[in-house]
Chains A and B, each alone.
Chain A
Amino acid sequence: MGRRKVMVIGLDCAEPSLAFDKYAGVMPNLRRLMKKGCWGLLRSTIPPITVPAWTTMVSGADPGELGIYGFRDRTGYGSYELDFATARTVRVPRLWDVLGDAGLRSTVLFVPQTYPPPAELRGSMVTCFLTPGADSDYARPVELKQTLESSFGPYIVDVPDFRTDDKPRLLESIYAMSRQHFAMARFLLDKDDWDFFMMVEMGCDRFHHGFWRHIAADHPRHVPGNRFADAGREYYAYLDRELGTLAEFADADTTVLVVSDPGARTMKGGICLNEWLLRHGYLALEELPDRPTPLHRLKIDWSRTKAWGEGGYYGRVFLNVRGREPQGIIPPEQLDTECEALKAMLEAIPDEHGRPIGTVAHRPRDLYPVARGTPPDLIVLFGNLDWRSIGSVGTGAIHAVGNDTGPDDANHSWDGILVASGAQVSAIGRIDGAEVRDIARTVLGLFELAPPETMGGTGILSGVRRVREQGA
C-alpha cells in the first residue's frame, strides 16, 4: 500500500431521498462509489444546521462541547448580545489541526467556520461563506489568494442577492458559484501535495432553499410542470459530474467520502416566535412596531421580559433570569419550572388551522453531556422541522404561510448522505446509524491516528457499527 490519502467531498444539504433515489439515475459517479464501498444516511446534530454541524463533522465534538448553538451565539450571560461563531470560536482541534500535528498536509476548501484562517497551516485553505468578501484575507498560504484570483476571478464567497424573485438569475448564480468552487478544488487537488483534502460546497443548500417548491411535489405551492420542475435533476446531475472529476484525483490508496449535512425537506411555514412570546406575556417591548421588524432593531423592556427568542431554521429561547442576565426578572429558583412550562406551551402551538404540528423543544442539558459557552434555555424545532422560526415582531400573526417566509422553500431535515469508497473500505453496501460526529474519528482511523479526547463519535469504517449487508 502506498501513501494513504483521504478526500472528503461535502455537499451542504444534499438530500438522501434525492441523491440515493429520485435522482439516482443521473448520478452515475455517486453510484459507482456506492457500489464499490458503503453508503447510508448521516444523522445531523441538534440543531441540524450548517453552523455548528460541519464543525462537529470535522472535530467530533457535539454542539454542547463546542459551545456553539447557531450562527450567532450569546457572548456570555452578562450581556444580551450575540456574536458570530467564527473559526476563533472553535476551541477544539479539527481534523487539519490533528493531521498537521502528525506531519500530514491538508487542503481545506470552503469548510464552514474556517474564517478567519489560521496564522499557519500545514497545507492550504480557502475560507468559508462567512468570509466577508472577495477582498478579505481568505487563503492560506497568503499568496494562494492571488494565484486563485488570477485563474478563477474574484472568489465567489456565496450566492449574491439570495432573496430575489428573479429565479433564473438565482439559478445562474448558484451554478456560477459551484463551478468556481469545483474548479478551484481541481486546481488544488492537482497542485497541492495533500494527504487530506476536504471541500464543502454550499450550492446545493442554496438551491434547495431557493427552488424546493419547484421540485418537491409535497410542497404546498408546488405547481406541476413549472419551468424549474427539472432544475433539481439537472443540478444534482451537474454535482455528480463535478464529483466524477474530483474522484479522478483519487488513486488506489485514497479513500473518498461524500457527505452532506443536513438534508432538506418541505417547509410548511414559519412560527413567529417573538410575536408569540409577546402575545403570551413573556416578552415586552417599549414600542410595538407596525410592520415586521427584527427584534434587535426594537427596544425590549427587560423589566417586564421573561423570555426572548431567535429566528432561523429552528428557534432558540433565552430566559431572563435574575442574577444571571443583566436585567433578569425570573427568580433563579424558578428557572426550571418556567423553562418546563414554556417548553410545554411551545410544543403545543398548533398550525394555522388549530391542528397539532409536533414541535419539539429541547433543553441543552438533555441533549449534550456538557453545554459550554452560553447555551439557549430551549432549542425549539417547530413541527419537528416542518416549520421555521421567525424572529421578527409586528408580523400580525403567529403563523407565516404563503409568501411571508420569502424564498425559503425548504427547511433542513435530520439526515444527510454518507458514501465511502476506497482501498480501505469493503464493499458492504448500506450501513445504518452513522452520525455527523463520527466522521472525524473515521478519517483519523483511515490514517491510523489516535483521536484527541474531544473527538467523540465512532469510527464508522472500523466495523464497530452494526453493518447491514445489502446490495447498493
Chain B
Amino acid sequence: MSGYVIWLTGDRVRMDALAEALRAGLTGTAPSIDVLTAEMVEDRLCAHEPRNADFRDVVVRRLAWLCQVLARNGGAAIAVAASPRRAVRDEARRGSDRFLEVLVHGTMPDGYEPPLEPALEVRASDAAYSVVDEVRRTLAARGLVARPPRVYTPEEEARVRERVEKLGYA
C-alpha cells in the first residue's frame, strides 16, 4: 500500500472545503486520510518557536515532514497551507515521490511564488467533484491509487458511439 501527499498551495481561504471534498472523495484509496493544516502545526508543533521572518518556512517544513511520515507508512495526507515560497515547497516535494503539488488559484498571499510545474491546477471556482476526479486520475496515473472506474464500459461506449455517429454528431 502506497500512501500519498496532496499539497494544496495558493488561495488558503478556498482550501478547507476543497480538502474536505478530497478527503471524502478519496475515501478507500488509503487506510487513513488526514487533513493537516499550517495552523495545526503552528499550534501544536511550533508554539514556542520565535515568530521571526523564518517562522512561516519552519511551519511549512514541519507540515511537510509530518505528511511524509504518514505517506511513508501507507497513509494519505492532505496539506492545507498557503505556502507561498517556492523553494520551501520544492524541498518538501523532493522529500517524497508520492507528493502531488496542487496549485489553488484565487486570492494569493502577498509575494506568492507559484509552482513552475504543479502536478495540477485548480481554480477556486472549479466544482469540487471535478477536482476530486482530477486528483484521483493524477494519482492513478502515478500508480498511487487504483484507476477510477470509466464512465462507460467498452460495450456501453460502443453503443453510445454508434448512436452518436448515426445521429450525425460525429
Which residues from chain A sit less than 8 Å from chain B, CB to CB? Answer: 49-51, 70-72, 84, 86-88, 90-94, 97, 115-116, 118-119, 129-130, 132-133, 136, 158, 162-163, 206, 209, 294, 310-313, 388, 391, 406, 408, 452-454
Cβ of B2 to closest chain A Cβ, rounded Å: 24
Q: Pick from B125, B163, B168: contact of A454, CB below 8 A.
A: B125
Report B97 CB to chain A, min CB distance, Å. Answer: 21
Interface contact B169-A312, CB-CB below 8 Å: yes
What separation, in Å, do the CA atoms of A313 and B126 have in the docked complex? 30
Q: Decide if B86 is an interface residue (CB 8 Å cutoff).
A: no
Given contacts A84-B152, A132-B160, A133-B159, contact A92 B168 (CB under 8 A): no
CA distance A129 to B161 in the complex (A): 12
Contacts A93-B125, A116-B151, A130-B160 given; does A88 touch B170 at CB 8 Å: no
| Alpha-carbon gap, A247 to B126, bound state (A) | 34
B44 at the interface (CB under 8 A from A): no
Q: B47: CB under 8 A from chain A?
A: no
In the complex, the answer to whether A453 meets B124 with C-beta atoms within 8 Å is yes
Q: Does B90 contact A (CB under 8 A)?
A: no
Known: A84-B152, A132-B152. A92 touches B126 (CB 8 A): yes
B127 adjacent to chain A (CB < 8 Å): yes
Main secondary structure of the interface of B (DSSP, over half): helix
Report whether A310 and B167 are in contact in the complex, using a CB–CB cutoff of 8 Å: no
Residues of B within 8 A of A (CB): 123-127, 129-131, 133-134, 151-152, 156-157, 159-161, 163-170
Cross-chain contact B125 with A453 (CB below 8 angstroms) = yes
Residues of B within 8 A of A311 (CB): 170
List the B side residues contacting A129 at CB < 8 Å: 163
Q: Are B127 and A71 in contact (CB under 8 A)?
A: no
A408 to B167, CA, bound (A): 8
Within the complex, the shortest CB–CB distance from B40 to chain A, in Å, comes to 27
Q: Are the CB atoms of A312 and B170 closer together than 8 Å?
A: yes
Give the distance to chain B from A370, nearest Cβ to Cβ, in Å: 10
8 closest A-B pairs by beta carbon, nearest first, are: A132-B156, A91-B130, A453-B125, A408-B168, A163-B166, A93-B127, A86-B151, A454-B125
Determine whether the beta carbon of B168 is less than 8 Å from that of A118. no
Q: Report the Cα distance A311→B167, complex, angstroms.
A: 12
**Given the interface contacts A84-B160, A130-B160, does A310 sit within 8 Å of B170 by beta carbon?**
yes
Closest to A97 in B: B127
Contacts of B134 in A (CB 8 A): 91
Closest Cβ of chain A: how far from B17's Cβ, in Å? 10
Q: Name the CB-closest residue of B to A130.
A: B160
Q: Are A454 and B151 in contact (CB-based, < 8 A)?
A: no
Given that A86-B151, A130-B160, A133-B159 are known contacts, is A91 also in contact with B126, CB under 8 Å in the complex? yes
Contacts A71-B164, A136-B156, A453-B125: A90 and B151 contacting too (C-beta < 8 A)? no
| A451 closest partner in B (C-beta) | B125
A453→B160 CA distance, assembly (Å): 33
What are 25 residue pairs bridging A and B, where the CB atoms are less than 8 Å apart in the complex? Answer: A49-B169, A50-B169, A70-B169, A72-B161, A86-B152, A90-B127, A91-B130, A91-B134, A92-B125, A92-B127, A92-B130, A94-B127, A115-B151, A119-B129, A130-B164, A132-B160, A133-B159, A158-B163, A162-B166, A162-B167, A163-B166, A313-B169, A453-B123, A453-B124, A454-B126
Residues of A within 8 A of B160 (CB): 84, 130, 132
Residues of B within 8 A of A88 (CB): 130, 133, 151
Nearest residue in B to A94 (C-beta to C-beta)?
A: B127
Contact between chains at A90 and B156 (CB < 8 Å):
no
CB pair B151 A71 closer than 8 Å: no
Q: How far is the CB of B9 from chain A (nearest CB, A)?
A: 19
Cβ of A116: which chain B residues have Cβ within 8 Å of it? 151
Output the least CB separation between B133 and chain A (Å).
6
State the Cβ distance, B115 to closest chain A Cβ, in Å: 18
Residues of A within 8 A of B129 (CB): 118-119
Give bound CA distance, A158 to B167, whole Å: 10
Once bound together, how far apart are the Cα atoms of A18 and B33, in whole Å?
57
Closest to A133 in B: B159
A residues near B169, Cβ cutoff 8 Å: 49-51, 70-71, 312-313
Q: Tell me whether B125 and A406 are in contact (CB under 8 A).
A: no
Closest B residue by C-beta to A206: B167
A84, B157: Cβ atoms closer than 8 Å: yes
Q: How far is the CA of A91 from the CA of B165 in the complex (A)?
A: 25
Give the residue among A94, A130, A206 with the most B Cβ atoms within 10 A.
A130
B66 to chain A, nearest CB (A): 30
Q: Identify the closest chain B residue to A405 (Cβ).
A: B168
Asked, given contacts A88-B130, A88-B133, A136-B156, whether A452 binds B168 with beta carbons under 8 Å apart, the answer is no
| A163 vs B166: C-alpha distance when bound (angstroms) | 6
Please tell me if the beta carbons of B167 and A391 are within 8 angstroms of each other in the complex.
Answer: no
